Amino acid sequence: MAVWVSLIFGFTYVGLIVCGHPRSPLARWQVALLGAFCVLAIQAISLSQAWQSISWDIIGILFGLMVISGYMHQAGILDALAKKIITRMRHQRQVLLALIIIAAVGSAFLTNDVVCLILAPMVITLCQRYEMAPMPFLLGVALASNAGSVATLSGNPQNIIIGVYSGIPYARFFLTMAPLACVSVLVNYFLLRIIFRQSLAMPIKVVDEISKPVESARAEIGIFAIVVVLFFSPLPMWLPALVGAVVLLCYRNRKPDFWRTINLPLLLLFVGFFVLVDAMDKQVVHNWHIDDWPGIQSDPGAFVAVFAPVFSNIFSNVPLTLLFKSLIQYFDNPEYIWLMLSASCTLAGNATLFGSFANMIVAEQARPYGIQMGYLTFLRVGVLSAIITIVCAYLYLTYVVVTFQ
């Protein structure tokens, strides 16, 4: 049975890599559900075990945040903020810093994927209007959204998983990880300034800005603020997220294209991952004797800081995080490992174009405008960003956070 489950697991992840191509006949969520069906077909786990393996609170958090983010996108809140800031700038370096801060702060509370979906088209429009080279700004949005999402348990899908399984309070996670997120954002800003120093040295062309009225968004902003505040309370994260989403759905009008902002394929992808990883856990992982692996006890932080980035770029960070639910028992300080896993997986997403869904969203959003964000273009900034920020994360969590716990 272990061999069959391993083969299904391996073929599924090869399929996930191959099906990332736009011309693939299958989408990633279809491959994940097919893998889940296969482990059920060979009875690696029962139907009841598969149902229990699905973390519905994680699905609820994701759905709630998607709905809230959809309403904020519909109201044009982030667009209006970015346009208001850029009209006050005179140098492209200032614009880059402002966009990076907006992407980082937004991704901390709206998730990085949603922020990239909102900001990428707006950044391209602004670059065309002000005659700026779009690449450093698009890279800035992608890199900063990943780095900023390190700060909270609602910043990205893997952090949502960690929040549910680790039991770390939202406030403690934020106070611990926010300094690391700030450092990572600054690292990305200075890397982009150095690599794109010639284009960023150009002044901004001054044009008459045509103001576009923004819909009244008091309700969206108010509910979003309440949800974020409640995240810091002892309530489970899914409760304020879903309540906020239900209130907006019941009392606010929706545009015809509103439901396109709800990423149903991502939710189905998670369902497939939950079932597949649970089968892998029950049939395969317990035979790995992980407690005998070199480095896992002598320096567990370094082990995770190396292991997680490599495997998250091969298999994606979400399934790796799900798999760690079974591995955490082998570590003496589980909270430290969860924090290191969060930082390593998320910051490693900046290494390559395919390391994070947020990166691919930016690249795909740019393609209709004739802007090609190539793999090598991303790589020359991303690898440096990932290495520097992961080293910072290891040093900070090991020698600052653990020391003062």
Of 110-114, 349-353, 385-389, highest mean pLDDT: 385-389
Residue 22 has pLDDT above 60, yes or no: no
Residue with tokens 């790589």: 379
pLDDT tens readout for residues 249-270: 888 776 666 776 677 877 888 7
Window from 80-84, 226-230, 279-283 with minimum mean pLDDT: 80-84
Residue partners of 387: CB distance under 8 A and separation at least 6: 351
Residue 214 has pLDDT above 60, yes or no: no
Query: Which pTM does this prediction carry?
Result: 0.77
Place of tokens 């896992």: 296
Nearest to 311 by CA among 340, 362, 348: 348
Per-residue model confidence as pLDDT tens digits over 377-401: 888 899 999 999 999 999 999 999 8
Closest Cα partner for 355 from 303, 321, 310, 305? 310
Most confident of 167-176, 284-293, 327-336, 349-358: 167-176
Span 336-354, average pLDDT: 91
State the average pLDDT over residues 197-222: 69
CA atoms of 370 and 185, how far apart (whole Å):
28
User: On the CB side of 187, how many CA atoms lie within 13 Å of its CA?
Assistant: 25
| Least-confidence region, from 113-122, 129-138, 172-181, 233-242 | 113-122
What residue segments make up the domains of the chain, in order of their start? 77-214+295-401
Q: In this predicted model, what pLDDT tens digit does every residue of 362-377 receive, in sequence order?
A: 887 787 778 888 778 8
Indicate the helix (H) or strand (E) that contains 5: helix 2-18
C-alpha span between 143 and 100 (Å, rounded): 8
pLDDT at residue 299 tops 60: yes
Which of 320, 313, 319 has the alpha carbon at shortest distance from 360?
313
pLDDT at 215 over 60: no
Query: Does position 212 have pLDDT exceeding 70, yes or no?
Result: no
Average pLDDT, the chain: 83
pLDDT at 23 over 60: yes
Going by pLDDT thresholds of 50, 70 and 90, the confidence category of residue 347 is very high
Checking phi first, is residue 293 left (phi over 0); if not, alpha (psi -120 to 50) or beta? beta
pLDDT band at 181 (very low <50, low <70, confident <90, very high): very high
In the chain, the percentage of residues whose pLDDT exceeds 90 is: 29
Lowest model confidence (mean pLDDT) among 20-29, 153-162, 268-277: 20-29
Helix (H, G, I), strand (E, B) or coil at 91: strand
Amino acid residing at 23: R
Structure tokens at 292: 């005998």
Which whole number is the average pLDDT over 24-38? 84
Distance (Å) of CA 169 to CA 62, 112, 237: 18, 20, 10
Specify the pLDDT at position 213.
Answer: 47
Cα separation, 318 vs 185, in Å, equals: 22
Contact criterion met (CB below 8 Å) for 14 and 21: no
